Amino acid sequence: MKLPAIVVDDIDTEAGRAAGAIELRLALLTDGVAGIAFRCPCGCGSEGYLPIQLNGMDRRGPEWEWDGNPETPTLSPSVFNTGMPCKWHGWLLAGEWVSA
């Protein structure tokens, strides 16, 4: 399954409730993207958050590498929603959610 990642200003809006929607969240201290909030691509409606690796910050938890593209982002490693009922697993590659 492939699903476009729709970039929205706020994940809590009507557009943000669509499966696969993403919101880039800014870091107040660094003025860059701190993480990506997302609506699960499987369609279950669950919301998740993926912290982005920031230079010089130790957040003591999993972090994802981001390619810096705000329109068609790629993250690494894969996303495994172990905390969500659906347990969706896959990747965000060039602006598309791709199931494992």
Q: How far is CA 19 from CA 45, 83, 91, in A?
A: 7, 17, 14
Residue 1 has pLDDT above 90, yes or no: no
User: Quick one: pLDDT at residue 62?
Assistant: 82
- Count structural domains, the chain: 1
Q: What's the pLDDT at 85?
A: 87
Q: What is the pLDDT of residues 70-86, one digit of tens each?
A: 999 999 999 998 888 89
Q: Dump pLDDT digits (tens) for 32-55.
A: 788 999 999 999 999 999 998 876
**Structural domain boundaries enclosing 24:** 2-99
Would you state the pLDDT for residue 53? 82
Residue 97's CB: how many other CB atoms inside 10 A? 22
pTM value is 0.88
